[in-house]
Amino acid sequence: MTADLLELATRVAVEAGELATLRRAEGVEVAATKSSLVDVVTAADREVEALIRRRIQDARPGDGFYGEESDAAVGTSGLTWVVDPIDGTVNYLYGIPRWAVSVAVVEAPTQDPDTWTALAGCVVDPSHGDVYRAAVGAGATLGGRALRASRPASLATSLLGTGFGYDAAIRREQADAVARAIGEVRDIRRAGAAALDLCDVARGRLDAYAERGVQPWDYAAAALIASEAGAVVHSTDLREGRRLVTAAAPAIAHDFAKLVRDAGF
Ligand code: IPD
Ligand code: CA
C-alpha cells in the first residue's frame, strides 16, 4: 500500500517537474503576490499544482488534497496529499537552478498537521535530475541509492542550512538568529528551497537545518526523506502560528537543539 502511494507520488512529481522545466524554459513572470510584495506566485506554480491535483484525483478520488496554490479538499479515505508544486519559487523566477516539486501523502485524522503521519514522499529537483523518495519505515533513496545523513564530529564543524520568510519584520528576526548562531558552526547556507535543504540533510550535504515559518507543503515530503535517512527531525514547535522545522545529523542533534533555542530560531 505505502509502496503504491510512493509510486504514485513519484510518477506525479516527475511529470510535474517536466512541466515546470518546460514553462521555465519558455520564460517566467510573476502572476500575483500573496502574503507580501515579495511572496510571489507564477502561472507555472498554479498550472503545475493543477496537473498534480488532477493526476491524484484520477488515481485516488477518495483522498484529500492540501496544496500551496489551491483550496484544500477533505477526502473520505483518511489520506491527504500535501503538495508544493514549486518550492523555491523565487529561485525559479530568477532562473537559479534550485527549486523542487514536493509531493507527500499523509495519514491525516484531522486538519492539524501535528496529527499527521507522513506515509510517503517524493521531492524532484529537475535542474539536477535528482529524485528523492521515502516511505515510512522503508528508508530514503536518491536515484535508487540509499541516503544516509552525515556524521559530523561536532557542531562547530557542522554546515547549517536555513531560510527566511516573506515578511520583512520576521526576516529581520530570522537574520538576528542567524547572527547569533553563525559563530557556533562551520558556516550557514540559505539556498532558497526548504524541501531541498531537508533533502541535503538526508544526503549529508548539510549537517543540519532549521527554519521557522515553513508550511506543511514545504516540508511534508522532505522531512520524511530526512528522517528515513537517519536525521533527527522535529516539526511541532509553533510560535505565533509559525512552525519551526529542524533536522540534524544524530551526532549533533542534542547540541543543535540547544543552539536553535539559544539563537532564537
Ligand atoms: C519557500 C522556500 C524558502 C523558505 C521559505 C518558503 P516557496 O517556499 O522554501 O527556502 O525559506 O520559508 O516559503 O514559497 O518557494 O514555495
Ligand atoms: Ca511553492
Looking at the predicted structure, is the pLDDT value of residue 1 above 90?
Answer: no
Which ligand number lies closest to the CA of residue 170?
1
Q: Which residue has the cell 505565533?
A: 240
With a 6 A CB cut-off, is 42 part of the ligand 1 pocket? no
Range scoring the smallest mean pLDDT among 35-44, 57-66, 246-255? 35-44
Ligand 1 center from residue 254 Cα (angstroms)? 26
Question: b or e along 201-237 (b: 16 or more beta carbons within 10 Å of the residue's beta carbon)?
Answer: bbbbebbbbbbbbbbbbbbbbbbbbbbbbbbbbbbee
The answer to whether residues 221 and 242 touch, using CB atoms and an 8 Å cutoff, is: no
Ligand 1 center from residue 3 Cα (angstroms)? 28
Atom of ligand 1 nearest to the CA of 213: 12
With a 6 A CB cut-off, is 192 part of the ligand 1 pocket? yes
What is the reported pLDDT for 34?
86
With a 6 A CB cut-off, is 164 part of the ligand 1 pocket? yes
Average pLDDT of the chain to the nearest whole number: 96
pLDDT over 90 percentage in the chain: 93
Looking at the predicted structure, is the pLDDT value of residue 38 above 90?
Answer: no
Question: Hey, whose CA ends up nearest to atom 16 of ligand 1?
Answer: 87
With a 6 A CB cut-off, is 200 part of the ligand 1 pocket? no
With a 6 A CB cut-off, is 101 part of the ligand 1 pocket? no
What is the reported pLDDT for 30?
86
What is the reported pLDDT for 39?
84
Convert the pLDDT of each residue in 181-222 to its tens digit. 999 999 999 999 999 999 999 999 999 999 999 999 999 999
With a 6 A CB cut-off, is 113 part of the ligand 1 pocket? no
Per DSSP bridges, beta strands 187-189 and 159-161 are parallel
What is the reported pLDDT for 187?
98
With a 6 A CB cut-off, is 165 part of the ligand 1 pocket? yes
Rounded average pLDDT over 39-43: 87
121 pLDDT band, cuts 50/70/90, is: very high
Question: Hey, whose CA ends up nearest to atom 11 of ligand 1?
Answer: 163
69 pLDDT band, cuts 50/70/90, is: very high
Q: HSE, CB side, 13 Å, CA atoms: give it for residue 228.
A: 26
Convert the pLDDT of each residue in 245-258 to its tens digit. 999 999 999 999 99
With a 6 A CB cut-off, is 84 part of the ligand 1 pocket? yes
Which ligand number lies closest to the CA of residue 89?
1
106 pLDDT band, cuts 50/70/90, is: very high
Convert the pLDDT of each residue in 141-197 to its tens digit. 999 999 999 999 999 999 999 999 999 999 999 999 999 999 999 999 999 999 999
Which ligand number lies closest to the CA of residue 69?
2
With a 6 A CB cut-off, is 216 part of the ligand 1 pocket? no
Looking at the predicted structure, is the pLDDT value of residue 223 above 90?
Answer: yes
Residues with C-beta atoms within 5 A of ion ligand 2: 68, 84, 86, 89
What does pTM read for this prediction? 0.97
